[in-house]
Amino acid sequence: MRISPLLAAFAALALSSCSGQDSSALPPIGAGDNWDNPGGDWAGSHFSRLADITPENADRLGFAWEYDLGTSRVQEATPVVLDGIMYTSGNLGRVYALDAASGEELWTFTPEVDQQYNRYACCDQANRGIAINEDHVFVGALDGWLYALDRETGAVAWKADSFHHRDRGYSSTGAPELAGDVVVIGNGGAEYDARGYVTAFDVETGEEAWRFYTIPRDPAQGPQESEALEAALESWSEETRWDLGGGGTAWDAIEYDPVHDQVIVGVGNGGPYPASSRSPGGGDNLYLSSLVALDRATGEMKWHFQETPQDSWDFTAVQPMILAAMEFDGAMHDVVLHAPKNGFYFVVDRVSGKPLLAEQMVRTSWASGWNLETGRPVLTPESSDYSEGPKLVFPAPPGARNWYPAAYDPERNLYFASFLDMGNLMHIPDALRQPEHRPRGLTSAVDAIFTPYLQQALEGMPADFQDQVKALPEWQWVVDKPFSSQVRAIDAKTGETRWTADYEGWQDRSGMLATQTGLVFHGDLAGRLVVRDAETGMVLKTIDTGTAIMAAPMTYKVDGVQYVAVQAGWGGGGMSLVPQYSAAYAKPNTNRILVFRLDGGEVPIPADLPPIAATPEPPAQLPGVTAAMIARGGVLFADNCSICHSNQPRAPVPNLLHMNDGTHAAFDQIVLDGLLLANGMPRWDDLLDASDSKAIHAYLIDEQRKAHERDRRDGPPDEMIYSRGTTNRSMH
């Protein structure tokens, strides 16, 4: 098999213990004919040096080929192309190998996933990509198994269990990261009861090389696993609720830095969300919401930078990072460019871990700014500590940034990314003030309203609660500008915004691709691939595809032809709340790889979905049901079921207000016994009993009756009906 010269050079460099080596030993930032990892190059830049597609001819871009991925859930991966072959992953950890010029299928791989793990994945069956070397394609499956597949055949060379134990709510959705002779992967689960870590496995054998835990364990269990954790323990209170897990899961954004032979890990949020519940008595809670640099060979920590001390807001640091070199104060620095959930854009020194720039990008109520001398934010607990009452938290838990990859153009020193400027209401109901540990259950311990339309959302709440919220200073922020969701071009050294372009709605964000010729590519939920001028943001070409696009596009060259490819399909955090402007609201959510070239044709557009059906008449209410039982069922449904089953139009999981007679008859078997486990519906008999199942069923029958009467009177709704409920959704 022929090996990409860049891949071979990269592997040799990674194995040479190149600590302190000048970055000039590496190829310049930017991908060429090949796109050899989801980020495109060693820097994760999502930048291409291919020059065939330019601002002058971008209007000639058209359809080259498509590939049906055979699924209809969520697509967040960026394909990899090496030597004319495209490799990529789909939901649950499926892998596809295709001829990159024609789309011809060469092989596919479907892992045998324990579908029970759908219950422990806060944000759908997402998978964000593969890693690849000369022999293997590496992918993580949702249930935590890391696979090494033969590049030529897709056969399993080895598999390794990346979960250190399976009695906690872990899941795996991120791309593994190749770092010389090891491949590194993390996990999700901070909304459940997980303790975060990353694990390195030998690329040839699958043997564990090292593991780094991102937060301490209960000191009653003995010494910590590393000196770094002994130091971190001082930042957790003596009353810490270690039984709840703590969070800190590294579910994406692990980046190998070959210049300093280190693996930089973005660490997730705290679990439960409120620091007052997680670590009563205070503390920064290291290494939550931090960048942590680990020695590639040993896994020992070299430095850390905590981007959100005392995290109570789901402000993960797990958003994709980009490596670069910049001049500050007259000296060149190897840096990380990083914009996490918390609303700031950071430039961080890759040797010391010190921030060189911290620029506020959206409205922030948790901090008023950043002190570069201390390396800490200026915290504003008076505006963000919701332990004693509701607060309007900016940015919202969906994040100013999230998993959507940014792109960095080193020629223009511009950073292109999606930004969401929005706040959410967060408070702690009395019932959640002393959270109970529910094994592998949601333990966020907060009531959060994920919508910018807070004025409408407050309707129906107690009047005194409404008055309390409207008296908050940030209420005027809500009134003046409920949200903005934008593509932004930012000066990478100063954080100054050069231009912006609005998305259609607050759920609308996407990954980026930049090119040397001065183009920026991105998708949107309406199903459009948009090509912009990098200098001005002007739209040069829009291609309608009929399928929602969230993932980052990429580009490659085969046989002298430059192609642009993107994976398309709606899903992820908030998957069951499908916005009306999304293609998934009007058309089937057929997951596709879409590929374009100059002088291509028209994209095949899926046919429209049929009209939304009216709610059918419900069966008779269950025997012995009382109003109190229905109310209890509503609480149980909100806490356990609503994260997937929104019962809203066009949701990708069943609307339980439309259950047929057979589903009603088998309700307990489905919920408690796992009758539909193979279809992705987990069993709940470890947390719910027969009386709980009956209460939930009674609640759904009651809700179906109300919906049926409404539809008979007014017709079925053609838009989402907002319902509040208690939610733990973090929109990862």
Catalytic residue among 252, 314, 334, 421: 314
How many angstroms separate the CA atoms of 383 and 369, rounded?
A: 13
Q: What is the pLDDT of residues 604-613, one digit of tens each?
A: 999 999 999 9
Q: Is 143 exposed, middle or buried (0-12, 13-18, 19+ CB in 10 A)?
A: buried
**Mean pLDDT, 10 residues at a time, over the chain (732 residues)?**
44 44 76 97 98 98 98 97 98 98 98 96 95 97 98 98 95 97 97 96 98 98 97 98 97 96 98 96 97 98 98 98 96 97 98 98 98 97 96 96 98 98 94 89 87 87 94 96 97 98 97 98 98 98 98 98 98 91 96 98 97 94 97 93 90 93 96 95 95 98 95 80 40 36
314 is catalytic: yes
How many angstroms separate the CA atoms of 146 and 158, rounded?
A: 8
What was the pLDDT predicted at 451?
85
How many angstroms separate the CA atoms of 251 and 67, rounded?
A: 27
What was the pLDDT predicted at 12?
46
SS3 567: strand
Structure-token match 């001398």, residue found? 373
What was the pLDDT predicted at 1?
36
Q: pTM for this one?
A: 0.95
**Domain architecture of the chain: domains with CATH:** 5-598 (2.140.10.10), 627-714 (1.10.760.10)
Contact 318, 340 (CB under 8 A): yes
Helix (H) or strand (E) holding 392: strand 391-393
**Tokens encoding 730:** 């973090």
What was the pLDDT predicted at 719?
63
What was the pLDDT predicted at 575?
87
What was the pLDDT predicted at 219?
97
